[in-house]
Amino acid sequence: MILTVTLNAALDITYRVPRLHPHTTNRITEVSERPGGKGLNVARVLAALGHRTVATGFAGGGTGEALRALLAETEVTDALVPVGGATRRTVAVVDAATGDTTQLNEPGPVVSPAEWDTFLGTYRELLGEARAVALCGSLPPGVPVDVYARLTRAARSAGVPVLLDTSGEPLRRGLAARPDLAKPNADELAALTGSTEPLRAARDARRRGAHAVAASLGPDGMLAVTADGTWQAAPPHRIAGNPTGAGDSAVAGLLSGLVEDLPWPDRLTRAVALSAATVRAPAAGEFDTGTYEELLGTVRVVAPSPEARSVK
C-alpha cells in the first residue's frame, strides 16, 4: 500500500454565495464538505488510480468525526490517530459571480507530546507495509518543526521511499533528511532558495538534500531535477478552472509513478495530466477522468532551456 501522512487534516467546507459582500451578511446558497488537508487529497487521488492507500495523521472533536465519516465513504483506509483537540475547518467561500474563492483556514488543534508519541508508533507500524510514503502539508501547533526530517529518516531506515510536500521551515528541515523527492510549488521554492528562476531554484533545493525535486509551476506544468536528468512537462494548452487540489493530484501522480517504477518523463506526464484534470473538474479536489486520459497523450515533456531538447 501507499501511505499518506496529514498531520493537520481538515474538514474542508465550501460555501457558494451569489456574490460575496465583505463586511455585510451573506446568505449561503450551497454548502459542501469533504475530507481535507493535502495528504488526504493525495490519498483520494491515489485510490482513484487503483492504489491501495492508507491515510494517517491526527483527527479529533466533532469536526474530526465528520471528517472520518466522509473518509469512510472513499476507498482510502483510515488510520488517523485520535487527538483531544478538534480537527480544524477550512472554509472556501466561492463567489458565483466572479468565480473567485476567499479561503479561511483555522489553525488546527494543539497536539500533546503523548499524542505525538502515539502517532510515531502508528507511523512506524504502517511503514512496515508501505511501498512509499507522502508527507504533506502544514503542521498543527505542538508538533516539532523538524517533524518531517524525523519521519523521513524513519521511512528511509525502513527502506520506504519518501515524497515531501510542505513549505517554510518544515520543508527546509525535511530536505536535510534526504527525502527521495520533494514537490514544492514555485512560491515555496522561491521562499526556500531566494530565487524566482525555477530551474536555478529547483537545483538549489536538490543540493539541500532531496534526491529529486519536482516543482509544480501552475499552468506551466512541472519541472523535475533528478539524478537521471532534468525535464519540464506542460499541458498542450492552458486549462481554465479551479486550481484547488491540483498540486495534491500532482503528488499522487508522481508517487504512483515512483511505486510503478515508471521512467521520469512518464511520471511527469501523469502528474501534469492529473493536475490539469483537477483544475478542470467541477468540484475542488476531484479530477476529471476524461481530461486526464486525453492529456496523458498530449502532455509535452522537454529538457528545459537552454538544452531545449524534446524527449517525447
The residues that are catalytic are: 248
Cell of 80: 488517523
Q: What residue has cell string 502515539?
A: 118
Q: How far is the CB of 137 from a second copy (least distance, A)?
A: 13
Q: In angstroms, how far is CA 185 from the centroid of its own chain?
A: 10
Residue 66 or 302: which CB sits closer to a second copy?
66
Residue 63 or 291: which CB sits closer to a second copy?
63
Handedness of CA 239, 244, 246, 247 (dihedral sign): positive
Ramachandran region of residue 142, left (φ > 0), alpha (ψ -120 to 50) or beta?
left
Q: How far is the CB of 94 from a second copy (least distance, A)?
A: 10
CB 148 within 8 A of CB 181: no
Residue 87 or 230: which CB sits closer to a second copy?
87
Q: How far is the CB of 29 from a second copy (least distance, A)?
A: 7
Whole-number Å distance between alpha carbons of 188 and 149: 17
List, in sequence order, every residue forming a beta bridge with 229; answer none if it has no partner.
226
Selection from 274, 171, 158 nearest residue 213 by Cα: 171
Q: List interacting residues with a second copy (CB under 8 A).
A: 13, 15, 17, 20-29, 31, 62-63, 65-66, 89, 91, 93, 95, 98, 100-107
CA end-to-end distance (rounded Å), the chain: 31
Q: Vertex 293, ends 287 and 295: CA angle to 5°?
A: 90
Residue 21 or 312: which CB sits closer to a second copy?
21
Q: How far is the CB of 204 from a second copy (least distance, A)?
A: 26
